[in-house]
């Protein structure tokens, strides 16, 4: 049986290998780790992240979480951020930072870019950032996008990422992937407080757990997920 992580992967399998997946079963998240914080906890996380970024309290912070900076489009985020003077960028990931630093210097970003390197507690970043920006040039179904959404963080995603199929009203999918101006426009949208609040609520509602994934995998094999056999129907 062939299964796909996303509609994007299903299309790739059909186009490249002539395979027709029996079902699309996407990734999930651990609900014990990834969920929306309280309003006060979010404010405290935002203050803590601003301190790490050297940003004034209340300044917007775009978060980028990835290891392969080029593949995941960090250059696109930096070029977009250069057009928004009040925006700070925080990067968590283990790739060589020299290229990002050099590009930031050329763009005049200066101290508005913070490269944290690999980070153990990414949840604190999701809770404190203004938005996750993930301009990936290829991703079957990015866990980073799903984790951020589950935490109620608005996401700006790439159409080349299978996880973009789950963004919905929880952010924006930037169709013009290689156009920094399009990413800047999407960032300006999410900087509006009312729009960001609505996106945050919609993002949290997308949360899909690994138990949900397991149920879908069993269903795709024709098996009854545990706990459903004896569950009464709505009329029972």
- Identify the CA nearest to 171 among candidates 204, 141, 125: 204
- For each of the chain's 236 residues, which pLDDT tens digit applies? 899 999 999 999 999 999 999 899 999 999 999 999 999 999 999 999 999 999 999 999 999 999 999 999 999 999 999 999 999 999 999 999 999 999 999 999 989 999 999 999 999 999 999 999 999 999 999 999 999 999 999 999 999 999 999 999 999 999 999 999 999 999 999 999 999 999 999 999 999 999 999 999 998 888 776 654 443 333 33
The strand pair at 113-117 and 131-134 is best described as: unpaired
**Torsion angles phi and psi, residue 174, rounded to 5:** -90, 105
- Identify the CA nearest to 115 among candidates 146, 142, 77: 77
Identify the DSSP state of 41: H
Q: Give this prediction's pTM.
A: 0.91
38: how many CB neighbours lie within 10 A of its CB? Answer: 9
Q: What is the pLDDT of residues 74-93, one digit of tens each?
A: 999 999 999 999 999 999 99
Which residue ranges does the chain devote to CATH 3.40.50.2000?
29-207
Interatomic CA distance for residues 149 and 95, integer angstroms: 24
Give the burial string for 223-234 (b: 16+ CB within 10 Å, else e).
Answer: eeeeeeeeeeee
Interatomic CA distance for residues 125 and 42, integer angstroms: 10
The strand pair at 3-4 and 113-117 is best described as: unpaired
Contact 152, 36 (CB under 8 A): yes
Q: Which CATH superfamily is domain 29-207 in?
A: Glycogen Phosphorylase B; (3.40.50.2000)
């Amino acid at each position: 049986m062939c299964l796909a992580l996303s509609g994007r992967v299903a299309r790739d399998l059909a186009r490249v290998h002539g395979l027709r997946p029996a079902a699309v079963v996407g990734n999930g998240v651990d609900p014990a780790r990834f969920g929306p914080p309280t309003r006060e906890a979010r404010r405290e996380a935002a203050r803590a992240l601003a301190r790490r970024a050297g940003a004034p309290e209340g300044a917007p912070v775009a978060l980028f979480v990835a290891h392969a900076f080029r593949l995941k489009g960090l250059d696109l985020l930096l070029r977009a951020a250069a057009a928004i003077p009040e925006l700070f960028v925080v990067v968590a990931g283990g790739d060589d930072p020299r290229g990002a630093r050099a590009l930031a210097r050329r763009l005049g970003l200066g101290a508005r870019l913070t490269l944290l390197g690999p980070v153990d507690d990414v949840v604190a970043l999701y809770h404190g950032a203004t938005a996750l920006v993930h301009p990936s040039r290829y991703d079957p179904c990015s866990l980073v996008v799903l984790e951020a959404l589950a935490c109620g963080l608005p996401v700006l995603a790439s159409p080349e990422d299978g996880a973009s199929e789950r963004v919905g009203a929880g952010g924006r999918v930037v169709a013009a992937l290689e156009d920094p101006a399009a990413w800047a426009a999407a960032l300006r949208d999410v900087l509006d407080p009312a729009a960001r609040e609505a996106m945050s609520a919609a993002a949290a509602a997308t949360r899909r757990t690994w138990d949900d994934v397991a149920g879908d995998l069993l269903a795709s094999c024709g098996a009854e997920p545990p706990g459903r056999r004896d569950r009464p129907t709505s009329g029972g």
